């Protein structure tokens, strides 16, 4: 684009603001106009729940930029409360409706960026129009929820994904009684069920009621409450309801303009964020992008990708010879609820099963740093790989501290095309307050290689078959205080070699322990003594009770 | 090795214990003997300083395993207080001296692992034999330092590397007055000087006295102190002195046996940890390994590599067909002193200069997580790359939180052979408590690409040339309260476009600010208006004052 031309940006939050800012750094002389339907630009949308709960004390902190600050810092022309009505592609102009003045006018562009984002889903349930039903997209939604959510009130949060969990936590912190309703049989359905169990137990610990496998049937306004009727016939009375069941891309404008859309209505773009019209770019929650693991088309409505896509579009508009392609998204995401964090990068097991793709997986437990250093807390890490090549496909982590670190490293490893073997020798920054000489990521690599080298068979289910001898190798006191939920023979690991005669060599053995480490040691002993044995991978902690202790708690 | 054969391990701490434990999991029937000169095996040597300062409250926590526990868990035969005197390679036996009983006997091996470790350097300074001079290698050294280091005493720590810094911090925490003496012109010489500046200021803040560019000349015992005379003639009186000036590999046994040693006395091994004798392996601080960045031979005395090398040796001994090579070390390391952490992975700039290798570098600053979320704290990240290929060569980070995370990601990126361009689109786990939509690692990638794309010129020194116009683009109040250490023209960034006439287009400009972000923005504006301009990369924070604020502190 020549330096005196016009860039028009529709949508001024993450992708739009990033594109405009980068555009100005690349070109002082371009006319850059941002048109934003809402009253705010470039606000911190990921921070909204934290203001509702009071963790973020000042609303001003969330309004990162204003039209005036963008004018003075970047010489951008920002029009808030202005809606783009239609795109005239042939005439390279957009019809814009100023919602304040009522004025409607055409604005010309040389290049257009669409960054309309995505709207919270608000299905057509009977009673959905009730003003006590909220969704959360912008500062005004936030203000309304704040006004409605006094301490002691009853909130029902529908949808236990990332935003639903943040909302449930924050409303509970604020003193409301909170019920979380989720259609899937687990909270945080983006993760495999076992990896979300600690999060669920943390919500229970903070007295958030959880109703799983239930959807909304209808809402019934009553004298002093809004009654939420669920598909099973159950109902709950609420003072406010927060709907957080997903988003849909705001792509009516693009559709009306005849731009190519994907199967689920997202704008199709190339690696430089160009739509099917070479003068129109798109970025953020409204676009389809590439899955970085498989190369398939996908949509990832997250702030990081949105910001970086906006930047790629600006690069391609103003320096096409130097612009680097957007390489696709992994869907790396994390949520914190109270003391627990959980997250994912790449593919999960459920999705691989649904896609019919082959995979293998191990789950390991360790502390976030040296166990002898104060504050050591357990975390659980699950990795998934391609069984043929060993290449990583995804990872999930859950625990109290250091979850983001492990996800970030594994996102980097997946991006690099690393295999599970490569994880064994990643060399991390180690001192006792920060890690362990063998980090849990190294351990996951070791465990995966042990499996690939056929040193151990894994199981993640307790056997139905009564022929299987389940050997609990934990210390006797621990095995008695926190019993496994099945019939076991307790042979503490240090006594195993002396007690092989207690086991029948003609029947299979499953070894189990709290974390899956001693059971692996035991499986190695038994395998070498001629037993057919598998180890309960990830132990009781990853499969049965996410708070299963590895040793007796201090009295 | 056949299953009934003998593995003899010399040294039972990190590499030796790891090798023996892995060996047992691979082979139930082998005879495995560990010979350890000291009284303890498999103790937590990285935890020793933290016990001295009282952060770790129980000595038992550091004695991870005992001969009895290794016998019961792993059926290992562990002989502590036994010293290997010589190796008879032809006879495949080792002569062992039991330091308790005085008995000397030969023990046969089929495979031998040497894991002797490294000893703290204790140069032959006059007065070095004084019993108030300590080094720290094992639990007994630790006990002696604990006994000598009552609150109120005067400690001099010689050497400000990782261990020296940990010792200085811990002794100070315990209430001693502490002086740190370092031969180099900076603390933590493993980092480039500017990246160690925050650490140095944190030590000052905690009243640790620091003497740089000084070595020890001699020690003089006096009536109630040990006087440390330095090379400059200065002297300090101490109640105890801790020497932490490095280590040397304990390889006399290997040398006497005729094994091939490297230039600095380390045992030379191949990728499976085999020495020049195919039946003798070596691992840990005593060996040479490969530099993972360059492929050169190097020695990296760290716990992580030691543990993993021991494991590789066991794999190659017991399942040579499946063993994977040890891929080399990066030298990833971190230290915490009080509230500050700093660390490195890969090569630093000093080392690249000394080696005459071409490189480029940028330094960026940001908070560890969303700045609007409570607890945001600044961190500084420096990356170094090959200017031709863009491939990462090293990274350093310094700050308060999240330092380990960035180093771990960058260690993974370097291992993967990633370029600075790849950093732009790493997709991290983002929610406001954990990160930012654009993480500081992404920002480092952006900054590096901007440099490679010739969008900006960087400078890390303030100009001597009076022709250069230094433009401080910080807000006026900040520029006045925290002035740059040179003559500047203060033009706050939002007013820059309106004040271009204050600058002479015929003279070069250097833009500066606190963090290096606004100065980059300003450089882009000026460059496009025809100025010859460079930006002060990393800002005042990375180059002048590590605590330089980006905004006025609250009154």
> Given this model, what pLDDT does residue B246 score?
95
Q: Are residues A478 and A513 in the same domain?
A: yes
Q: Are residues B37 and B84 in the same domain?
A: yes
Q: Which helix or strand (DSSP H or E) is residue A142 part of?
A: helix A139-148
B90 burial level (CB within 10 Å; 0-12, 13-18, 19+): exposed
Q: How many CB atoms lie within 10 A of CB A151?
A: 9
How far apart CA A3 and CA A12 sit, in angstroms, is: 22
- Contact criterion met (CB below 8 Å) for B114 and B277: no
How far apart CA B345 and CA B411 sit, in angstroms, is: 6
> Given this model, what pLDDT does residue A64 score?
83
Residues of B in contact with A27 (CB under 8 A): 528
* Residue A2 in this model has a pLDDT that exceeds 90: no
- Among B22, B430, B436, pick the best mutation site for testing chain A contact (most A Cβ within 10 A): B430
How far apart CA B81 and CA B40 sit, in angstroms, is: 8
How far apart CA A60 and CA A56 sit, in angstroms, is: 10
Q: Are residues A289 and A344 in the same domain?
A: no
Lookup: tokens for B169: 């911090």
Q: How many CB atoms lie within 10 A of CB B124?
A: 6
Q: Cβ contact (<8 Å) for A429 and B62? A: no
Mean pLDDT in residue range A83-99: 98
> Closest Cα to residue B403, out of B338, B340, B331?
B340
Q: Are residues B348 and B446 in the same domain?
A: yes
The predicted-structure confidence for A7-51, as pLDDT tens digits, reads as follows 999 999 999 999 999 999 999 999 999 999 999 998 999 999 999
The predicted-structure confidence for A196-223, as pLDDT tens digits, reads as follows 999 999 999 999 999 999 999 999 999 8
* Residue A83 in this model has a pLDDT that exceeds 80: yes
Q: Are residues B344 and B447 in the same domain?
A: yes
- B457 CB-near residues (< 8 Å, 6+ apart): B451, B523, B533, B534, B535
CATH number of the domain bearing residue B279? 3.50.50.60
Q: Are residues B409 and B348 in the same domain?
A: yes
Phi, psi of A369 (to 5 degrees): -145, 180
- Contact criterion met (CB below 8 Å) for A96 and A84: yes
> Given this model, what pLDDT does residue B554 score?
76
Q: Is residue A272 part of a domain?
A: yes
> Closest Cα to residue A368, out of A308, A440, A302?
A440
* Among the partner residues B343, B404, B416, nearest to A405 by beta-carbon distance: B404
Q: Is residue B548 part of a domain?
A: no
How far apart CA A402 and CA A342 sit, in angstroms, is: 10
Q: Are residues A496 and A434 in the same domain?
A: no
Cα torsion B12, B14, B19, B22: sign: positive
How far apart CA A181 and CA A186 sit, in angstroms, is: 10
The residue from A184, A214, A245 where one domain ends is: A245
How far apart CA B243 and CA B120 sit, in angstroms, is: 8
Q: Is residue A232 part of a domain?
A: yes
The predicted-structure confidence for A327-358, as pLDDT tens digits, reads as follows 999 999 999 999 999 999 999 999 999 999 99
In this complex, is the C-beta atom of A64 within 8 Å of any C-beta atom belonging to chain B? yes
Question: Radius of gyration over alpha carbons of chain A, in Å?
Answer: 27
- Which residues make beta-bridge pairs with B209? B179
The predicted-structure confidence for A501-551, as pLDDT tens digits, reads as follows 999 999 999 999 999 999 999 999 999 999 999 999 999 999 999 999 988
How far apart CA B489 and CA B479 sit, in angstroms, is: 10
Q: Is residue A326 part of a domain?
A: no
How far apart CA B476 and CA B492 sit, in angstroms, is: 7
Q: Cβ contact (<8 Å) for B405 and A407? A: no
- A482 CB-near residues (< 8 Å, 6+ apart): A514, A540, A545, A548, A549
Mean of all residue pLDDT scores within chain A = 96
Lookup: tokens for B181: 């003496």
Question: Radius of gyration over alpha carbons of chain B, in Å?
Answer: 27
Q: Is residue A156 part of a domain?
A: yes
Lookup: tokens for B415: 């291992």
> Given this model, what pLDDT does residue A424 score?
98
* Among the partner residues B44, B374, B429, nearest to A407 by beta-carbon distance: B429
> Given this model, what pLDDT does residue A553 score?
83
In order along its 555 residues, chain B shows pLDDT tens digits of: 665 699 999 999 999 999 999 999 999 999 999 999 999 998 999 999 999 999 999 999 998 899 999 999 999 999 999 999 999 999 999 999 999 999 999 999 999 999 999 999 999 999 999 999 999 999 999 999 999 999 899 999 999 999 999 999 999 999 999 999 999 999 999 999 999 999 999 999 999 999 999 999 999 999 899 999 999 999 999 999 999 999 999 999 999 999 999 999 999 999 999 999 999 999 999 999 999 999 999 999 999 999 999 999 999 999 999 999 999 999 999 999 999 999 999 999 999 999 999 999 999 999 999 999 999 999 999 999 999 999 999 999 999 999 999 999 999 999 999 999 999 999 999 999 999 999 999 999 999 999 999 999 999 999 999 999 999 999 999 999 999 999 999 999 999 999 999 999 999 999 999 999 999 999 999 999 999 999 999 999 999 999 999 888 877
Look up the domain containing A167 and give its range: 133-245
Lookup: tokens for A263: 């199967």
Residues of A in contact with B407 (CB under 8 A): 428-429
> Given this model, what pLDDT does residue B151 score?
87
How far apart CA A109 and CA A106 sit, in angstroms, is: 10
Q: Are residues A240 and A252 in the same domain?
A: no
Q: Is residue A351 part of a domain?
A: yes
Lookup: tokens for A441: 């990521």
What is the nearest CA distance from B522 to chain A, expressed in angstroms?
A: 9
The residue from A245, A262, A284 where one domain ends is: A245
> Given this model, what pLDDT does residue A3 score?
59
Report the percentage of chain A scoring pLDDT > 70: 99
Q: Are residues B16 and B63 in the same domain?
A: yes
Q: Are residues B112 and B260 in the same domain?
A: yes
Q: Are residues B359 and B413 in the same domain?
A: yes
In this complex, is the C-beta atom of B531 within 8 Å of any C-beta atom belonging to chain A? no
Q: Is residue A32 part of a domain?
A: yes
Q: Is residue B60 part of a domain?
A: yes
How far apart CA B191 and CA B398 sit, in angstroms, is: 10
Strands ordered across the beta sheet of A287-290: A267-268, A287-290, A297-298
Report the percentage of chain A scoring pLDDT > 90: 96
Number of domains present in the structure of chain A: 4
| Confidence bin at A4 (pLDDT 50/70/90) | low
> Given this model, what pLDDT does residue A151 score?
87
The residue from B401, B427, B452 where one domain ends is: B452
CATH number of the domain bearing residue B505? 3.40.250.10
Comparing alpha-carbon positions, the chain A residue that sits nearest to B71 is A494
The predicted-structure confidence for A388-417, as pLDDT tens digits, reads as follows 999 999 999 999 999 999 999 999 999 999
Q: Are residues B372 and B397 in the same domain?
A: yes
Strands ordered across the beta sheet of B133-134: B133-134, B240-243, B154-158, B177-181, B209-211
């Amino acid at each position: 684009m020549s330096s005196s031309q016009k860039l028009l940006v529709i949508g001024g939050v993450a992708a739009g603001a990033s594109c405009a800012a980068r555009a100005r750094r690349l070109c002082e002389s371009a006319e850059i106009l941002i048109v934003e339907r809402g009253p705010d630009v470039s606000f911190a949308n990921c921070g909204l729940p934290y203001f509702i709960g009071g963790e973020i004390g000042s609303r001003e902190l969330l309004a990162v930029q204003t039209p005036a600050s963008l004018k003075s810092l970047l010489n951008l022309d920002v029009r808030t409360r202005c809606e783009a009505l239609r795109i005239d592609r042939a005439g390279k102009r957009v019809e814009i409706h100023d919602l304040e003045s009522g004025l409607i006018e055409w604005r010309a562009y040389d290049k257009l960026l669409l960054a309309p984002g995505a709207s919270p889903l608000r299905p057509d349930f009977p009673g959905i129009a009730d003003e006590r039903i909220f969704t959360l997209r912008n500062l005004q939604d936030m203000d309304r929820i704040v006004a409605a959510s006094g301490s002691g009130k009853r909130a029902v949060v529908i949808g236990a994904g990332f935003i639903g969990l943040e909302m449930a936590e924050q409303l509970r912190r604020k003193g409301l009684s909170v019920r979380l309703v989720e259609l899937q049989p687990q909270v945080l359905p983006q993760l495999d069920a076992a990896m979300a169990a600690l999060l669920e137990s943390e919500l229970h610990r903070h007295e958030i009621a959880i109703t799983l496998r239930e959807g909304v049937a209808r809402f019934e306004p009553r004298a002093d409450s809004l009654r939420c009727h669920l598909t099973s016939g159950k109902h709950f009375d609420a003072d406010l309801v927060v709907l957080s069941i997903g988003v849909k891309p705001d792509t009516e404008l693009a559709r009306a303009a005849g731009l190519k859309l994907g199967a689920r209505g997202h704008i199709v773009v190339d690696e430089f964020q160009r739509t099917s019209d070479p003068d129109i770019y798109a970025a953020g929650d409204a676009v389809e992008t590439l899955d970085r693991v498989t190369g398939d088309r996908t949509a990832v409505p997250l702030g990081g990708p949105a910001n970086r896509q906006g930047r790629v579009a600006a690069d391609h508009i103003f320096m096409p010879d130097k612009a680097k392609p957007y390489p696709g998204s992994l869907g790396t995401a994390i949520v914190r609820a109270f003391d627990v964090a959980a997250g994912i990068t790449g593919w999960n097991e459920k999705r691989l099963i649904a896609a019919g793709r082959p995979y293998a997986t191990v789950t390991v437990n360790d502390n976030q740093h040296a166990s002898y250093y104060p504050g050591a807390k357990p975390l659980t890490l699950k990795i998934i790989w391609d069984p043929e090549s060993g290449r990583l496909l995804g990872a999930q982590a859950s625990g109290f501290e250091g979850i983001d670190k492990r996800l970030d490293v594994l996102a980097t490893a997946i991006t690099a095309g690393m295999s599970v073997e490569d994880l064994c020798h990643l060399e991390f920054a180690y001192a006792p307050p920060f890690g362990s000489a063998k980090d849990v990521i190294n351990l996951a690599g070791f465990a995966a290689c042990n499996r690939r080298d056929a040193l151990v068979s894994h199981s993640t289910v307790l056997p139905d078959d009564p022929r299987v001898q389940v050997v609990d190798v934990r210390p006797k006191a621990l095995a008695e205080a926190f019993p496994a939920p099945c019939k076991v023979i307790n042979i503490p690991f240090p006594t195993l070699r002396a007690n092989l005669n207690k086991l029948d060599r003609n029947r299979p053995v499953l070894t189990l322990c709290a974390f899956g480490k001693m059971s692996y040691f035991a499986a190695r002993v038994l395998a070498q003594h001629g037993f057919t044995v598998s180890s309960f991978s990830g132990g009781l902690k990853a499969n049965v009770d996410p708070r299963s202790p590895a040793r007796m708690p201090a009295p």
